[in-house]
Amino acid sequence: MKSDYLVIDGKKFNSRLIMGTSLYPNLDVMNKSLEISETQIITVAIRRINLSSKANFLDQLNKQYSFLPNTAGCFTQKEAILTAELARETLQTNWIKLELISDKEMLLPDPIELFDACKSLVKKKFRVFVYCSDDPILCKRLEDLGCEIVMPLISPIGSGLGVRNEHNLEIIRRMCSGKIFIDAGIGKPSDAAKIMEMGFDGVLLNSSVARSLDPISMANAMKLAIISGRLGYKSGIIEKRKMASESTSFKGKISNF
């Protein structure tokens, strides 16, 4: 497992957990949560931070991370592409987490605008990490388009509902040969472990840690859950059976008198 690196854009990462940076009670808790999670990649919402300020948010981080800017809050292809270009110019990275939502209540991705935006961003040489619905066909189309990582939800953003459609996730994992992360809906560590046991490449989360009663401890729990789930998957989980399967053979048993 020590050589089980995650490779993104030619770079090796030990952690398969991407952490968000919003909703924490304060910067100290956020920094300690990020550190204990051992994440190496963090997301930042470009539209919500003032990068020109003397109190630059990025300068207040205690460790060095790979930044994954996102287009949170964008409703149209035009504003998503503009935000991506601003992020590239400001942070000097081709990475972009594309979020393009359709409504303010459910925050669900708009599949049509999303696909067209991905097509444009890939042409502009962005490495696109795309947040999308758990539609297997859409996920496959986005992968074929050239997205770096496809990131289906398992339930609405911030809901903590966990896996709602395991069948679709199994199809997605089977149909897509590239890197698939789960983004949105993780509520508890067992959700993250389950996802990793299914063979997904990683998890992106925020609310489940930042909004918990103890974000630092929860960040540690999520880290361990992802490590455990990945190790379980790589070790070969036994197939489910409807009938019992004895662990000790009946051969050689003492006969009844």
Encode the chain (257 residues) as per-residue pLDDT tens digits: 557 889 999 999 999 999 999 899 999 999 999 999 999 999 988 876 666 654 577 778 878 899 999 998 889 999 999 999 999 988 889 999 999 988 887 788 899 999 999 999 999 999 999 999 999 999 999 999 999 999 999 998 889 888 999 999 999 999 999 999 999 999 999 999 999 999 999 999 999 999 999 999 999 999 999 999 999 999 998 888 888 877 766 676 676 65
Q: Is 256 a member of any domain?
A: no
Q: Is residue 243 part of a domain?
A: no
Please tell me the predicted confidence (pLDDT) of residue 90.
85
What pLDDT score does 156 carry?
86
CATH label of the domain that carries residue 95: 3.20.20.70
- pTM of the full predicted structure? 0.87
Q: How many domains does the chain have?
A: 1
Give the CA radius of gyration of the chain: 20
Query: Is 242 contained in some domain?
Result: no
- 187-221 pLDDT, tens digit each: 999 999 999 999 999 999 999 999 999 999 999 99
Half-sphere exposure of 104 (CA within 13 A, CB side): 0
In a domain, 174, yes or no: yes
Is 100 contained in some domain? yes
95, part of any domain: yes
From CA 220, how far away is CA 233, in angstroms rounded?
20
Angle between helices 27-37 and 215-235 (to 10 degrees): 20
Residue 231 falls inside a structural domain: yes
Range of the domain at 69: 6-235
The pLDDT assigned to 245 comes to 76
Q: Establish how many alpha carbons lie within 13 A of residue 179's alpha carbon, considering only the half-sphere containing its beta carbon.
A: 22
Q: Is 125 a catalytic residue?
A: no
Indicate the SS3 state at residue 77: helix
Write down the catalytic residue from 32, 54, 78, 97.
97
Backbone angles phi, psi at 99, to 5 degrees: -115, 120
Task: Answer yes or no: is 253 within a domain.
Answer: no
